[in-house]
Structure 1
């Protein structure tokens, strides 16, 4: 994709039409360059000591964070073994869930991230059999073999890509995601990213993304989904890309929405249903004043609605639905009708519920005594806001889980 320097907004035009082999050769060249630049130290773990399971679909997690996508995948792997109803019942309690989670057809083998507190959270909630790698992905020399790769790389350079996305040095994480796929060649991958990916550069950015993943050896399926359509009490639009290795005879189809206003759909999950029981005992929440930017639009939903998108920031957390609605008093100005003192941000426990994490899920704040309470809480808000809602991840993974179960 080329960006033309003209007055006003940047203009984009399509890049030349590369064939799949041209793209693959370019990817290989860029990966070799990145490898030469960044991997200058020995491998710091022994693959032979990883808990690889031959009777399971082994999972490799990149940018795993607190584990929302990974946990949803695990649930999907249980659904095909013991059924959704039974899984839901056992999922309510950590001990009962831990007693059956080994039955999932998915086994988490390796997870990688550089967010220290998020990895501490991951470690507290996943079995010890998972190797948790706290290392910059650029310096991971070799990834373990796996059947499924999951995760969504941050993509800061997508908005102003060069002749190809891999030419932008800010997209090194994207390059290493593809490096992992080309090295490991899993049967499937699941990638999640923000809605804006589809429209950047008038769609040319996304065209390149698909082309790059296809060049890595995959048929790629994508869809923009809203989490509330799948039983998540939140307005959250995200793009999912699902890759199926070219030699696998399986056509992935995104599940149809289960919730909505239609005759044959379940009603949307409301904030009353999700967090109503926490009103008197919400747990800890981020405190402090609200910026002019924050108050430039409505930040408060009613009890019978779904939450605004949960952001990766305590300061930007939506307002609790209790009390009077916010009131618009100017073009870019809203106020609290009943006063700022009667309104608070959603708590950690509440946003975890809205992201469909179970109540027993423990989040680490890093236990840094030198950091303020708000600072420690913000570490948790960031983890939860960055996560894929657990139930959404579960639904997206179910067709893959079913195919693996039927073809094992």
Structure 2
């Protein structure tokens, strides 16, 4: 184990700190970060701009993007209230869903993201009551109170571990997520990240993350989930870190796979199931030559399989199943039989389906007609590829929604009791 040099592939374990040591380091770092933020009227008035609902679980979404994780939570919250079948049926139609979505047990009250086009998409598809903050999260002085905080924080500084992640200035976004939950004091937080986080630093990175979140006052667990196990026609593995506030009467349980090859499971959803009806009218797709990097591996699945992971790039989008399969010609070299004209990348509409967004969901391209169509399309590919698949998010949120229902009922009973006591005097 190399200890004297830092760099790619080099790591050393974090010091064996106690939970109090970690907490003190964490609080000192967050205090330092917060002290550098210049307070302004926008942040001071933020609390007044946020619309809370006492009979719902109020939700903050960090690094919200176009809202895949948010939409999945909202759908799970609606299913908890009106029923699974009814919610999924309503989800197919924009007008029907918009008439019912206010019944969801979850209400997003605040989002934060710097991606302009993603924020525009969010505004097109979510209620106006959501306060959208298009601002560098490092410059947000105050976060509102909430019941849940969700988001997928980027991890630019996680290529190696230690001495402590919170001491590495490259991990400012990770620190901001923790800063938010310390300020906001939610009952639960859910953070999503890439599969590689589990093996970075030979496991030291995820170990430190769990310790750091736990020191903020949460019981924390993590698990690797594959989206295809929850009705998503895509091979996409992601880590979900879930924290429950210490003292809360709730133990989170990860969702059991609903799709697969077991007797009690639904069959995996295939590309044919998801996008087979779009063959004649797929909508616009990214065009252009395929680089040597793109052709270094297979990019095409068959109709009876699930898609490769949808990436945040039009140029890197998987190939459509039609046409001959790619052929391996050598090490890291594949070819497109019949020429490029017999192959195309998946369209925006197709990858949105593969990410389980409904057809009515709109994705902004920025509206700048002076730039190329590929440039505008890439804005949409980026939003969709960065998003958590909606049905995967729904699965993760389901047990939380069921618990939230019981908590809201308890609130109502408590309010009734208080009103009754007041009436006696």
TM-score (norm 1): 0.97
Post-superposition Cα deviations, 1:173-200, rounded to whole Å, max 9, x if no partner, equal 1001000011111000110000011011
Measure how far apart 1:39 and its partner are: 3.6
Measure how far apart 1:235 and its partner are: 0.3
- Structure 1 ranges of 4+ moved more than 6 A: none
Counterparts of 1:367 and 1:87 in 2: how far apart (Å)? 33
| Contact 1:72–1:394 under 8 Å retained in 2 | yes
Measure how far apart 1:317 and its partner are: 0.1
| Contact 2:143–2:184 under 8 Å retained in 1 | yes
Counterparts of 1:16 and 1:142 in 2: how far apart (Å)? 31
- What are the residue-to-residue correspondences of 1:109-124 with 2, within 5 Å? 109-124=109-124
**2:168: which partner in 1?**
168
Measure how far apart 1:388 and its partner are: 0.2
**1:279: which partner in 2?**
279
Counterparts of 1:17 and 1:5 in 2: how far apart (Å)? 18
Counterparts of 2:24 and 2:373 in 1: how far apart (Å)? 50
| Contact 2:13–2:162 under 8 Å retained in 1 | no
Counterparts of 2:199 and 2:9 in 1: how far apart (Å)? 14
Measure how far apart 1:50 and its partner are: 1.8
Aligned residues: 407
**1:385: which partner in 2?**
385
**2:411: which partner in 1?**
none
| Contact 1:113–1:133 under 8 Å retained in 2 | yes
Tell me, which stretches of 5 or more residues in structure 2 are unaligned?
409-425
Partner SS, residue 397 of structure 2: helix
Post-superposition Cα deviations, 1:44-72, rounded to whole Å, max 9, x if no partner, equal 44322321111110000100000000000
Measure how far apart 1:221 and its partner are: 1.8
| Contact 2:301–2:307 under 8 Å retained in 1 | yes
Counterparts of 1:368 and 1:107 in 2: how far apart (Å)? 32
| Contact 2:161–2:200 under 8 Å retained in 1 | no
- What are the residue-to-residue correspondences of 1:1-400 with 2, within 5 Å? 4-5=3-4, 10-44=9-43, 45-400=45-400
Counterparts of 1:24 and 1:6 in 2: how far apart (Å)? 27
Tell me, which stretches of 5 or more residues in structure 1 are unaligned?
none
| Contact 2:7–2:160 under 8 Å retained in 1 | no
TM-score (norm 2): 0.93
Counterparts of 1:378 and 1:355 in 2: how far apart (Å)? 16
Counterparts of 1:275 and 1:17 in 2: how far apart (Å)? 51
Measure how far apart 1:19 and its partner are: 1.1
Counterparts of 1:66 and 1:167 in 2: how far apart (Å)? 31
| Contact 1:161–1:167 under 8 Å retained in 2 | no
Counterparts of 1:133 and 1:290 in 2: how far apart (Å)? 37
Partner SS, residue 352 of structure 1: helix
| Contact 2:37–2:141 under 8 Å retained in 1 | no
Moved more, 358-367 or 244-253: 244-253
Post-superposition Cα deviations, 1:318-370, rounded to whole Å, max 9, x if no partner, equal 00000111111111111111221111000000000000000000000111122
Counterparts of 1:254 and 1:10 in 2: how far apart (Å)? 31
Query: Cα RMSD over matched residues?
Result: 1.5
